[in-house]
Homo-oligomer: A and B are copies of this chain.
Amino acid sequence: MEKETLHCKVTVRIMTDRKAFGPGVAEILTGIRKYHSLRGAARQMGMSYTKAWTIIREAEKIWGFSLTQRHAGGKEGGSSVLTEPARIVLERYEAMSRELHELAEQKFQQYFNEEELRKLRK
């Protein structure tokens, strides 16, 4: 049996019956913030441009505002930046995820610390 340490992971999704925001959208937007390009963001994730584009468009339909703004021109056919509301949503999503991650760590240490695991295993 392997002996890697148990830990917990929390995923936050904002949705209607369809997904408006989750780790995937967050990663694409973070990539755009970094590379100023949807193509660059998709490439970094090993995702096709078309798939990244579709995910962003679907999310925009649910939020009711644009997440990215395109500027024409340049070597790779223009650049993209986050819109102001996208920047705010991303920051709040990151803050929520961080706060939930902290509570999860705390609860995990309470319920599943080494001592508790030893009791469960015996």
Question: Closest CB of chain B to A11's CB: distance in Å?
Answer: 4
Q: A84-106 toward B: CB 8 Å interface, digit per residue (1/0)?
A: 01001100100110011001100
Q: Which residues of B contact A120 (CB under 8 A)?
A: 63, 65, 85, 88-89
Report the copy number of this chain in the oligomer: 2
Contact B107 A99 (CB under 8 A): yes
Contact A92 B111 (CB under 8 A): yes
Contact-residue size bin, chain A (C-beta under 8 Å from the other chain): 35 or more
Contact A64 B1 (CB under 8 A): yes
* Further contacts, 17 of them, CB under 8 A, given A95-B111, A100-B103: A1-B64, A4-B16, A8-B12, A8-B14, A9-B15, A10-B10, A10-B11, A10-B12, A14-B108, A64-B117, A85-B121, A88-B120, A89-B120, A92-B112, A96-B104, A96-B107, A96-B111
